[in-house]
């Protein structure tokens, strides 16, 4: 099994719908992140969490919300999806005690029509 699992892998949804992307990890890391990838723009941080009760906005949090239900689970919600939220979304984890970078999931490709 993958260390960082994202579900679903692909999703097509209609404008105005609420959608949740799930992320779970088995690495035992305390920190979790949601990134969005668009062609030519790299990866941009949406939200991050350093512990179960900790939620922080990234550089592009508008239109998104998150929930850290447990140390191993971090979900991203789009309250009312719009077409410009069509993108590839990545969850990542890191260990605050080790400075070795992040471990990424395989991504969720979201299309809003």
Partner 1 sequence: GQQLNQSPQSMFIQEGEDVSMNCTSSSIFNTWLWYKQDPGEGPVLLIALYKAGELTSNGRLTAQFGITRKDSFLNISASIPSDVGIYFCAGLNTDKLIFGTGTRLQVFP
Per CB under 8 A, which region of 18-26, 28-36, 65-73, 74-82 contacts partner 1?
28-36
Count of CB atoms situated within 10 Å of the CB of 42: 9
- Touching partner 1, residues 45-74 (CB under 8 A): 45, 48, 50, 58-59
Per CB under 8 A, which region of 13-21, 22-30, 72-80, 99-107 contacts partner 1?
99-107
Longest CA span, the chain: 42
User: At closest approach, how far in Å is the CB of 101 from partner 1?
Assistant: 5
- If you count them, how many residues does the chain have? 113
Q: Is 68 exposed, middle or buried (0-12, 13-18, 19+ CB in 10 A)?
A: buried
Identify the sign of the CA torsion 41, 67, 14, 104.
positive
Residue among 110, 92, 108 at smallest CA distance from 32: 92
Is residue 44 involved in binding partner 1 (CB under 8 A)? Answer: yes
Is residue 21 involved in binding partner 1 (CB under 8 A)? Answer: no
Nearest CB to partner 1, comparing residues 77 and 104: 104
Residues in contact with partner 1 by CB under 8 A are 4, 31, 33, 35, 40-45, 48, 50, 58-59, 90, 92, 96, 99-107
């Amino acid at each position: 099994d993958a260390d960082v699992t994202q579900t679903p892998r692909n999703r097509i949804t209609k404008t105005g719908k609420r959608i949740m992307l799930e992320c779970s990890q088995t690495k035992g890391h305390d920190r979790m992140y949601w990134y969005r990838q668009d062609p030519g723009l790299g990866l941009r941080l949406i939200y991050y969490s350093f512990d179960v009760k900790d939620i922080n906005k990234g550089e592009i949090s508008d239109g998104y919300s998150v929930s850290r239900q447990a140390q191993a689970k971090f979900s991203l919600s789009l309250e009312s999806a719009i077409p410009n939220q069509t993108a590839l979304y990545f969850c990542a984890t890191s260990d605050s005690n080790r400075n070795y970078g992040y471990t990424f999931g395989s991504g969720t490709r979201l299309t809003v029509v």
